[in-house]
Amino acid sequence: MDTIESVFTTIAETAPEIREGLVGRREYQEGENPSGEEQLAADVHADQLLEERLLAIDGVGSYASEEREEIVGDGSGLSVAVDPLDGSSNIKPNNTMGTIVGIYDAQLPAGGHDLIGAAYTLYGPITTMMTAVDDTATESVVEDGERHTVREDVSLPDEPTVYGFGGRVPDWTDEFTDYAREIESDSSLKLRYGGAMIGDVNQVLTYGGVFAYPALDSASEGKLRLQFEGNPIAYIVESAGGRSSDGNESLLDVDPDGLHGRVPVHVGNEGLIDRLEAALDD
């Protein structure tokens, strides 16, 4: 099995333990992650499991995660960049969460064009997984840590129907606000925002539409991290025939600003992202 497939298999095999490990780990603990955010015991538990399992894979030489300052490993072979638990603020209200992995054929921090594979697992009513390699996305149901393919060559529906925008409305820039008003008044689109990027992106990949966590007046780089969230999600959405943008260009073209650098994230149907870039260009 090649290293990319081994990473996907390891993420699927670890999913039940991460999911079961949520119980009893819903409290914030001492300390912050490198982005200055509080850490849940569940974040740290998932991070520890994934570091151990992924670094044990032949061909994986570096492990980095949003939960730890430094890269771990001997730097040989491929690098994996992980968001062990995306949407962890959703744990208390028992809403969706997920795990994201980007597989880079380069030392980190790296640009999106160094990605050779990406995946996420979604802990929803059931556990599903989206994997992307060689410009093709595949959706699986994960049962007892085993992947069962349910959608091959995933592609965004031509007629989009959902949108979800993060950040507080009063904090949106004027240009993004104009775009949001245009989207809200489009009768073919309805609001679907769950507070976990992975759940919101999976809706876009299922129904077609747009997800954004945009630049804010208070945070010009937005909230999401290029290495662990922006790049892998862009790789997956673009593999499904969609587009990604930091507001100006594909996220995969953005030069990394350190390991934990943030970036405005917009992903979805090509037409909706084209309209976003036009709106931000005004």
Ligand X SMILES: O=P(O)(O)OC[C@H]1O[C@](O)(COP(=O)(O)O)[C@@H](O)[C@@H]1O
Contacts with ligand X by CB under 6 A lie at: 37, 83, 86-89, 166, 195-197, 213, 223
Q: 268: closest CA among 214, 187, 195? A: 214
Q: 189: closest CA among 197, 180, 201, 202? A: 180
Q: Which does 256 bind (CB under 5 to 8 A by kind): ligand X, Mg ion, none?
A: none
For ligand X, the closer of residues 3 and 96 by Cβ is: 96
Is 223 labelled a binding residue? yes
For ligand X, the closer of residues 83 and 139 by Cβ is: 83
Counting beta carbons within 10 angstroms of the beta carbon of residue 31, is it exposed (0 to 12), middle (13 to 18) or buried (19 or more)?
A: exposed
Min. distance of Cβ 14 from ligand X in angstroms? 16
- Residue corresponding to tokens 């771990």: 72
Is 89 labelled a binding residue? yes
- Using DSSP, state whether 20 is helix, strand or coil: helix
CB-based closest residue to ligand X: 197
How far, in Å, CA of 204 to CA of 250, rounded? 17
Binding site for Mg ion (CB under 5 A): 83, 85-86, 229
For ligand X, the closer of residues 61 and 167 by Cβ is: 167
Is 190 labelled a binding residue? no
Half-sphere exposure in the Cβ direction for 101 (13 Å, CA): 33
Q: Which does 213 bind (CB under 5 to 8 A by kind): ligand X, Mg ion, none?
A: ligand X
Q: 255: closest CA among 275, 280, 238, 230? A: 230
Report the relative pairing of strands 78-86 and 72-73 from DSSP bridges. Answer: unpaired
CB-based closest residue to Mg ion: 86
Compute how many other C-beta atoms are within 10 angstroms of the C-beta atom of residue 59.
13
Q: Which does 34 bind (CB under 5 to 8 A by kind): ligand X, Mg ion, none?
A: none
Min. distance of Cβ 83 from ligand X in angstroms? 5
Give φ, ψ of 278 to 5 degrees.
-65, -40
For ligand X, the closer of residues 48 and 89 by Cβ is: 89
Give φ, ψ of 219 to 5 degrees.
-150, 95
Is 135 labelled a binding residue? no
Is 51 labelled a binding residue? no
Min. distance of Cβ 110 from ligand X in angstroms? 19
Is 86 labelled a binding residue? yes
Residues at the binding site for Mg(2+) are: 66, 83, 85-86, 229
Residues at the binding site are: 66, 83, 85-89, 193, 223, 229
